Amino acid sequence: MRAALESLLRARKLDVTLLSTDAAAVPPERVAPTGDAALDAALGGGLRRGHLSEITGAPSSGRSTLVARLLAAATARGEAAAIVDACDAWDPASADALGVALGHVLWVRPSTSLRAGPSTALRAGPSTAGEQHAMAALKAFSLILQAGGFGLVVLDLADVSAAALRRFPVTTWMRAARLLEEGGRDTVALLVGAERIARSAGGVTLALESSRADWRGGAPRARLFTGVDPAPRVVRAR
């Protein structure tokens, strides 16, 4: 009975639900290095291609910095990358300073007709600009995964309200996993949120629970804040 079930699952490319998802057993070409030696060691080489992973953390925990580092690593390999920016919060100048090759990045953000001024609108109730942004971003994310050809695709939902996220269809992340299975097997799909959203069987959560502030200058009154150095903790499926 078990052998038959495993055979059926393998035929549908779902055998990771039965077999070990230990990244150490994954061939090198099936992982995307992050550019951080310590993080890559914890991940067994990098993030799994063809799977959905996520970054979680509070504001100022280093989410944007970590995303930029991952984009920099992908574009340094000559890969095309995409960031779907639901709340128009991505800063390309900061990303460029961290080594992202912007010419290799597709940046998708709300259209002028959907922008609603202050960021407080993004946390409002049903049928507001915030929910429209989230749903439009989700559609763009799905279209990019379906198109294929990207090494890294990021969906940044960090500033979308929990209420708006709960109104996503229940099949949302199952559909994303299927799109990766069908046409995005070379793609790392990555969600960014304040809390955990979703991940696939071979994906991980990079939880940012603490970070270190980077300062430039020696004198206490002449120091300049230059950014946050994220310290992600890798959380795997059990």
Mean pLDDT, range 140-144, rounded to an integer? 96
Q: Kindly state the DSSP code that residue 103 receives in the 8-state scheme.
A: G
Residue 137, pLDDT score: 95
pLDDT digits (tens, 9 = 90+) for 90-134: 999 999 999 999 999 999 998 754 444 444 444 444 446 678 889
At the topology level of CATH, where does 28-236 sit?
Rossmann fold (3.40.50)
**Terminal-to-terminal C-alpha distance of the chain:** 23
Residue 68, pLDDT score: 97
Residue-range domain boundaries for the chain: 28-236
Answer yes or no: is pLDDT of 212 > 70.
no
Query: For 181, phi and psi rounded to 5 degrees?
Result: -65, -35
Q: Collapsing DSSP states into helix, strand and coil, what is residue 40?
A: helix
Are residues 89 and 134 in contact, defined by beta-carbon separation less than 8 angstroms?
no
Residue 211, pLDDT score: 60
Residue 221, pLDDT score: 59
